[in-house]
């Protein structure tokens, strides 16, 4: 009971801070009503703790939030985009800054004292990555610009050929989907394993049939995500062994999985694993990693060479000798000042413990799913459509949805994003670079795609959204809320309160979107 009382006090303090900020933010007149609001939140909190007793064991994360992520509450910010990017702890930046100011570090491609100091730091970080995933003896760690860079390395270097196959799943990030361009250019066939609805899990019978179709005499690559960045579904890691037994190399996209889940490469051994460090612990950005199983290393054949990747190169002789292991894949000069921060981030996660993070996220995700599904307009119609599993079984802390008005008309997800931003809530909208899962969730078809392109050859996301709405009332995107190690009950409640505020609203009332997302990189203000 003492542990539960302790976590209740921590949460009560967090909720009280939210209430006080909300009250003082609109003037003194609102303070009088804060007591009733606070009592209501405390009642909700008691109900949550009763339904999720294991949450009491995660109270250390409340203390961590106060000491390492205090800027969230100081600024009144509700951060719900951990699948987009993790948040860094204050101590990570301090420790890295202390390291930077403690020595002189130069370009690693030399034997000078400054160069050797940088090399030692990089290799310590490389060893820590392999140790973290239990791959020290059987894997090679290649540092890349990001997870997409890791995936591109596999795509450009894998020996695709006529008769070989690339098998993807409809639930893949675009950086995995892009590998099909390398495969097709070299004559390999490309196929997609579909998803089942409504849970958006890989359709197992169809996948098995596709895996069984491999020609073992050719090179075959199967790529899938350990956790969906669209729906939060955790796809079974047993697929790795199942595919390898059928003559496939396996590429596991673990970018959305490893921030909150352990990946033990002694238990599950994909041939290639892509990860992103800023999604794990927020800092540094601009760094990813490709983990290559040593037995598959010789399979990759680099189509070019660069500075840092060769032991020997000649202009007159027009030949080169590629460096062995990771050196042959790390193009140019490594980000040698940032890579040591990876070791700091991994230690940070180890101190917290992934079990604690998992427990908290599972409790909060279950509460979020249940409460969103229960939201109704005054006429009884549901306010929210959730994509993916309705429970936390084999799913992570990513919850994707769309909102609807009392007449069942879809709200523009971009306007919901705007309104959430006005409340200090950071979430994410769009298709999240995962078009296959979004298309399956909304029932978009190949005919829909052809119709959109036929209407506008220079199709953009806003234009596609318009066409789909007018054509069939379907959405071409959604709203994604994702939880991470610094998430707490107050964050979830603040979003639920925002969602409940859309009850009985219409587009006329909430207003139209004031910006267009022209591309992944360009946002245009329409005001």
Q: Angle formed by the axes of helices 489-500 and 31-51, to 10°?
A: 110
**How far apart (Å, rounded) are the C-alpha atoms in residues 199 and 170?**
13
**Active-site annotation holder among 289, 431, 433, 520:** 433
pLDDT attached to residue 23: 33
pLDDT at 448: 77
Quote the mean pLDDT of the chain.
88
- What the block records as the tokens of 93 is 């930046």
Place of tokens 């794990």: 280
CA distance 405 to 385: 11
DSSP assignment letter at 214? -
433 is catalytic: yes
Cβ atoms of 73 and 17 within 8 Å: the answer is yes
How many CB atoms within 10 Å of residue 254? Answer: 26
Rounded to 5 degrees, φ, ψ at 247 are 95, 25
Q: What is the CA radius of gyration of the chain?
A: 25
Backbone angles phi, psi at 168, to 5 degrees: -115, 175
With a cut of 70, which residues of the chain have pLDDT below it? 1-34, 310, 312-314, 321-324, 456-457, 461-462, 469-474, 515-527
pLDDT score for 156: 96
| Contact (CB, 8 A) for 281 and 128 | no
Q: Is the dihedral of CA 72, 75, 77, 81 positive or negative?
A: negative
Q: What is the value of pTM for the model shown?
A: 0.89
Using DSSP's 3-state secondary structure scheme, residue 234 falls into strand
Residues written for the chain: 527
pLDDT attached to residue 38: 74
In terms of phi and psi (left: phi > 0; alpha: psi -120 to 50; beta: otherwise), the region of 76 is: left
Maximum CA pair distance of the chain? 83
With CA atoms as reference, report the closest residue to 239 among 257, 220, 252, 229.
252
């Amino acid at each position: 009971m003492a542990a539960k009382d302790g976590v209740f006090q921590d949460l009560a303090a967090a909720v009280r801070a939210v209430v006080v900020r909300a009250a003082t933010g609109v003037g003194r007149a609102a303070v009088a009503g804060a007591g009733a609001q606070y009592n209501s939140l405390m009642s909700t909190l008691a109900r949550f703790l009763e339904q999720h007793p294991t949450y009491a064991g995660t109270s250390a994360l409340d203390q961590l939030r106060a000491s390492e992520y205090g800027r969230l509450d100081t600024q009144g910010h509700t951060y719900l985009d951990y699948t987009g990017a993790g948040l860094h702890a204050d101590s990570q930046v301090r420790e890295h800054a202390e390291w930077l100011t403690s020595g002189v570090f130069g370009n690693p491609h030399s034997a000078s004292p400054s160069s050797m100091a940088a090399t030692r730091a990089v290799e310590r970080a490389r060893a820590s990555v392999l140790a973290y995933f239990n791959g020290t003896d059987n894997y090679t760690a290649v540092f890349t610009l990001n997870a997409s860079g890791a995936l591109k390395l596999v795509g450009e270097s894998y020996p695709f050929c006529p008769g070989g196959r690339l098998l993807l799943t409809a639930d893949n990030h675009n950086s995995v989907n892009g590998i099909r361009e390398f495969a097709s250019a070299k004559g390999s066939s490309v196929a997609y394993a579909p998803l089942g609805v409504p849970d958006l899990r890989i359709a197992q019978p169809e996948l098995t049939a596709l895996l069984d179709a491999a020609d073992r005499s050719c090179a075959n690559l199967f790529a899938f995500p350990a956790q969906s960045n669209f729906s939060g579904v955790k796809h079974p890691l047993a697929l790795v062994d199942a595919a390898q037994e059928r003559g496939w190399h396996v590429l596991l996209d673990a970018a959305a999985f490893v921030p909150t889940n352990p990946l033990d490469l002694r238990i599950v051994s994909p041939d290639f694993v892509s990860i992103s460090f800023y999604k794990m612990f927020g800092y540094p950005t601009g760094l990813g990693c490709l983990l290559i199983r040593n037995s598959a290393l010789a399979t990759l054949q680099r189509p070019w060479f660069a500075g840092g990747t060769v032991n020997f190169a000649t202009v007159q002789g027009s030949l080169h000798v590629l460096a062995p292991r990771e050196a042959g894949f790390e193009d140019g000069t490594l980000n040698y000042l940032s890579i040591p921060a990876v070791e700091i981030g991994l230690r940070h996660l180890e101190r917290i413990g992934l079990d604690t993070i998992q427990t908290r996220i599972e409790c909060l995700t279950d509460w979020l799913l249940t409460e969103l599904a229960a939201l109704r307009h005054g006429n009884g119609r549901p306010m929210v459509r959730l994509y993916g599993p309705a429970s936390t079984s084999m799913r992570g802390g990513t919850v994707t949805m769309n909102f609807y008005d009392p007449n069942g008309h879809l709200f523009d997800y971009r306007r919901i994003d705007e309104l959430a931003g006005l409340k200090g809530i950071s979430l994410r909208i769009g298709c999240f670079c995962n078009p296959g899962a979004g298309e399956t969730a909304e029932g978009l078809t190949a005919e829909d795609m052809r119709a959109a392109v036929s209407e506008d050859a220079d199709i953009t996301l806003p234009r596609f959204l318009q066409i789909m709405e007018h054509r069939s009332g379907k959405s071409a995107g959604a709203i994604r809320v994702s939880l991470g190690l610094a998430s707490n009950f107050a964050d979830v409640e603040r979003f639920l309160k925002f969602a409940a505020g859309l009850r009985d609203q219409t587009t006329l009332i909430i207003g139209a979107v004031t910006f267009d997302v022209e591309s992944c990189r360009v946002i245009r203000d329409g005001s």
